[in-house]
């Protein structure tokens, strides 16, 4: 059987490409490599026992509903648990004020699908989560970046860009950003709410990392703060995820948004995957009733905090003069910059030869990439390997 030479693919595919990161990931199977490249949580920290207990319980107690088709909006017991979970984080939301999505990635896709016309402008942070840039581009968006610093997006610059471009939406990762590791200050969060109301612009708050703080909790989410700014909730969508706090394999995320956006996203989700797996939704819901999450998160926070501390010390020791970096207060990433304008992708190639991997920063920029930047994840690497890996980076440089 011969394959067709060229299928008549949709024009929209021209806006996206297989990411540079994927190419790099092919090399990660090399034996002996120490990888700071991934964006995965550490599987050794998954609460397998609690998840197994939850799966067994829901199969024993409610086999019909969890193995059957379900509602597109989500499995009601999970929506109730998520409403409580968000309540503990200062967000008042009724169970029907949120929908469950297949990972928060799907929420971002549904936002793109429901909001973006070809040629529309959207504003993201520079740098930001690569899959969001690609997803919005697939819908034909012109993606514009706003600069960030250690305290998150530069709100003065963002406000100017909004006034100039009148974007369809602004996408932010305010807490322990990927890839930046940066956290938006409380004062800037409040200003974003005022700007959203004044300019009548939808702000999408993506928050998969907020629970992974090291010493102290981050400022309340923009959504939580919206309670103090009349009218602001009409301009906010908030994406949450179980991926970094429980398990990404469950593919359970959620979106809180104004009713009209939730309704349209639900309609589009219906044509996409009908609903998120009831089995994993029910498992997550049961897990949240067990009272194990606090203990699980306490361990994850402690382990990640220690790894981040060792990574900061090692970077300072081994690459001190050649690199500047932020020291994140939570999450999974260090964002670093090579001094003297050195190119991080050439450095990545030399690093692979020394059996250590990281991701060059350029692909995380929608435009005007800073080629001297790089992202290092400490989440899956033990402290001894972190020391060894960063020493190898020192040699590669």
Interacting residues with ligand PMP (CB under 6 A):
39, 103-105, 129, 173, 178, 206, 208, 241, 243, 248, 253
| The two structure tokens encoding residue 55 | 């799966």
Q: Do 288 and 87 meet the contact criterion of CB atoms below 8 Å apart?
A: no
Q: Could you tell me which residues are beta bridge partners of residue 238?
A: 205, 256
Residues whose CB falls within 8 Å of the CB of residue 319, separated by 6 or more in sequence, listed in order: 390, 393, 394, 397
Whose Cβ is closer to ligand PMP: residue 297's or residue 338's? 297
Q: Do 177 and 145 meet the contact criterion of CB atoms below 8 Å apart?
A: no
Q: How far apart are CA 192 and CA 158, in angstroms?
A: 9
Whose Cβ is closer to ligand PMP: residue 103's or residue 220's? 103
Minimum CB–partner distance for residue 230 and ligand PMP (Å): 29
Minimum CB–partner distance for residue 127 and ligand PMP (Å): 11
- Position with the least CB separation from ligand PMP: 103
Sign, Cα dihedral of 185, 187, 190, 192: negative
Whose Cβ is closer to ligand PMP: residue 136's or residue 347's? 136
Which CA distances in Å does 264 have to 12, 49, 171, 231, 233? 22, 37, 19, 21, 17
Core vs surface per residue 297-322: b (16+ CB within 10 A) or e: beebbebbbebbebbbebbeebbeeb
Q: How far apart are CA 394 and CA 388, in angstroms?
A: 10
Q: How far apart are CA 278 and CA 269, in angstroms?
A: 15
Whose Cβ is closer to ligand PMP: residue 99's or residue 338's? 99
Whose Cβ is closer to ligand PMP: residue 54's or residue 241's? 241
Whose Cβ is closer to ligand PMP: residue 130's or residue 390's? 130
Q: How far apart are CA 12 and CA 118, in angstroms?
A: 9
Minimum CB–partner distance for residue 31 and ligand PMP (Å): 26
Minimum CB–partner distance for residue 288 and ligand PMP (Å): 16
Minimum CB–partner distance for residue 237 and ligand PMP (Å): 13
Q: Do 129 and 176 meet the contact criterion of CB atoms below 8 Å apart?
A: no
Whose Cβ is closer to ligand PMP: residue 109's or residue 120's? 109
Minimum CB–partner distance for residue 32 and ligand PMP (Å): 26
Whose Cβ is closer to ligand PMP: residue 105's or residue 314's? 105
- CB atoms under 10 Å from CB of 280, counted, come to 25
| The two structure tokens encoding residue 286 | 């049961």
Minimum CB–partner distance for residue 253 and ligand PMP (Å): 4
Minimum CB–partner distance for residue 275 and ligand PMP (Å): 16
């Amino acid at each position: 059987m011969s394959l067709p030479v060229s299928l008549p693919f949709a024009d929209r595919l021209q806006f996206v490409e297989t990411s540079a990161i994927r190419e790099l990931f092919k090399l990660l199977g090399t034996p002996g490599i120490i990888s700071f490249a991934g964006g995965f949580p550490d599987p050794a920290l998954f609460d397998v026992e609690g998840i197994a207990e939850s799966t067994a319980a829901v199969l024993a107690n409610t086999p019909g509903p969890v193995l059957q088709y379900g509602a597109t909006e989500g499995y009601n017991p999970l929506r109730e648990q998520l409403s409580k979970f968000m309540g503990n984080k200062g967000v008042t939301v009724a169970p029907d004020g949120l929908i469950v999505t297949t990972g928060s990635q799907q929420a971002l896709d549904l936002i793109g699908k429901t909001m973006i016309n070809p040629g529309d402008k959207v504003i993201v942070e520079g740098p930001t989560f690569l899959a969001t840039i690609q997803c919005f581009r697939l819908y034909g968006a012109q993606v514009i970046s706003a600069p960030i610093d250690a305290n998150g997006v530069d709100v003065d610059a963002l406000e100017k860009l909004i006034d100039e471009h009148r974007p369809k939406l602004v996408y932010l990762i305010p807490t322990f950003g990927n890839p930046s590791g940066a956290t938006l200050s409380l004062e800037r969060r409040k200003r974003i709410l005022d700007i959203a109301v004044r300019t009548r612009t939808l702000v999408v708050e993506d928050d998969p990392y907020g629970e992974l703080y090291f010493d102290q909790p981050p400022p309340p989410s923009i959504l939580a703060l919206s309670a103090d700014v009349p009218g602001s909730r009409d301009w906010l969508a908030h994406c949450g995820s179980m991926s970094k706090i429980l398990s990404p394999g469950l593919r359970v995320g959620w979106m809180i948004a104004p009713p009209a956006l939730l309704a349209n996203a639900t309609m589009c989700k219906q044509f996409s995957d009908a609903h998120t797996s009831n089995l994993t939704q029910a498992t997550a819901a049961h897990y949240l009733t067990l009272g194990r999450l606090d203990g699980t998160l306490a361990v994850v926070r402690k382990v990640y905090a220690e790894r981040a501390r060792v990574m900061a010390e090692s970077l300072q020791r081994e690459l001190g003069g050649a690199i500047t970096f932020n020291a994140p207060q939570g999450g999974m990433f260090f964002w670093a910059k090579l001094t003297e304008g050195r190119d991080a992708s050439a450095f990545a190639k030399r690093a692979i030869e020394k059996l250590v991997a990281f991701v060059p920063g350029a692909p995380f920029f929608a435009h005007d990439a800073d080629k001297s930047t790089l992202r290092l994840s400490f989440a899956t690497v033990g402290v001894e390997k972190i020391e060894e890996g960063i020493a190898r980076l020192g040699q590669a440089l």
